[in-house]
Amino acid sequence: MATKGYTSRQEVENYLLLNIDSSFHDQVDRWIAEVEKYIEQVTGRVFVADSEDSEKLYDGNDLASIIVDDFVEVTKVEIDDSEIASTGYITYPANEIPKTRIKYKDGIFPVGDQNIKVTAKWGYSVAVPDDIKMAATSLVSGIVRFNKDAQNGEKKSMTIGRFSVTYGSEREKNDMLTAVAILDNYKKYYL
How many structural domains does the chain have? 2
Q: Note the Cα 14 to chain centre separation in Å.
A: 23
Q: Which of 122, 141, 176 is the last residue of a domain?
A: 122
**Domain co-membership, 155 together with 116:** no
CB 82 within 8 A of CB 106: no
Q: Which of 88, 122, 156 is the last residue of a domain?
A: 122
**Domain co-membership, 136 together with 160:** yes
Q: Which residues contact 173 (CB under 8 A, 6 or more apart)?
A: 156, 158, 167
- How does residue 166 score in pLDDT terms, banded at 50, 70 and 90? low
CB 5 within 8 A of CB 29: no
CB 97 within 8 A of CB 72: yes
**Domain co-membership, 118 together with 58:** yes
Q: What is the pLDDT of residues 119-145, one digit of tens each?
A: 999 999 999 999 999 999 999 998 888
**Domain co-membership, 28 together with 76:** no
pTM (two decimals): 0.83
Q: What is the pLDDT of residues 59-112, one digit of tens each?
A: 999 999 999 999 999 999 999 999 999 999 999 999 999 999 999 999 999 999
User: 191 in a domain, yes or no?
Assistant: no
Q: What is the pLDDT of residues 64-74, one digit of tens each?
A: 999 999 999 99
Range of the domain at 154: 9-45+128-186
Alpha-carbon gap, residue 63 to 19, rounded angstroms: 56
User: 85 in a domain, yes or no?
Assistant: yes
CB 140 within 8 A of CB 27: no
